[in-house]
């Protein structure tokens, strides 16, 4: 005689473990320490089109944790709190990290970032490795390089390479090496 499905014993449901990496997140996510985290989130929205995902504040308005999405990347940030093991670049005068942002329209992103308050530290120009590339310093002390690949003739690439080599020989640092090369 067949059993009625209602008479079957159901196993208790066990909670499913979440995926070890949240869906939509890359393996490496930059986490910035800043002074005035709320203003930083607003700057990154204006400058780079960041979409706010999370904003957790203390009762007095300090940013405990912020999460933004820029293009297909995640950026996290928070204010620096007493006793923290990190410091905001603005408090130490520099940072050892540059955030590199690729864009399909780098000139538009560049103009928007400068209008929002970023300072140009290296002009946006075509470079000898085949990218339109430049450096900015955001108002919170973080360095950004912006780029997009561009079509350049061999002659233009060679002229840019010679120009960069000459500048390096004079002790100038006209452009950083590309972040990677797949050429």
All residues at 6 or more sequence positions from 9 whose CB lies less than 8 Å from its CB, including other chains = none
Kindly state whether residue 104 falls inside one of the protein's structural domains.
yes
Kindly state whether residue 85 falls inside one of the protein's structural domains.
no
CATH number for 124: 3.30.720.110
Q: What average pLDDT does this structure show over 74-84?
A: 95
Kindly state whether residue 7 falls inside one of the protein's structural domains.
no
Q: Do β-strands 98-102 and 143-149 pair in parallel, antiparallel, or remain unpaired?
A: parallel
- 108 plus 167 within the same structural domain: yes
Between helix 106-116 and helix 37-48 the angle, nearest 10°, is 140
Tens of pLDDT, residues 26-52: 888 999 999 999 999 999 999 999 999
Share of the chain above pLDDT 70, in %: 90
- 59 plus 103 within the same structural domain: no
pLDDT band at 7 (very low <50, low <70, confident <90, very high): low
Domain coverage including residue 137: 95-171
Nearest 5°: phi and psi at 45? -65, -45
Given a contact cutoff of 8 angstroms between Cβ atoms, the answer to whether 134 and 146 are in contact is: yes
């Amino acid at each position: 005689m067949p059993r009625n499905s209602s008479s079957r014993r159901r196993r208790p449901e066990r909670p499913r473990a979440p995926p070890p990496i949240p869906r939509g997140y890359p393996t490496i996510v930059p986490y910035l320490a800043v002074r005035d985290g709320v203003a930083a989130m607003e700057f990154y929205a204006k400058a780079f089109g960041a979409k706010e995902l999370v904003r957790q504040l203390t009762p007095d308005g300090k940013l405990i944790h912020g999460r933004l999405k820029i293009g297909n990347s995640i950026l996290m940030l928070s204010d620096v709190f007493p006793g923290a093991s990190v410091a905001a670049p603005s408090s130490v005068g520099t940072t050892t990290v540059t955030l590199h942002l690729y864009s399909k329209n780098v000139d538009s992103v560049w103009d928007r970032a400068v209008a929002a308050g970023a300072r140009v530290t290296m002009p946006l120009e075509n470079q000898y490795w085949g990218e339109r590339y430049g450096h900015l310093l955001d108002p919170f002390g973080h360095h950004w390089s912006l780029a997009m690949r561009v079509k350049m003739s061999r002659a233009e690439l060679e002229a840019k390479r010679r120009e960069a080599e000459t500048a390096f020989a004079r002790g100038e640092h006209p452009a950083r090496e590309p972040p990677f090369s797949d050429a």
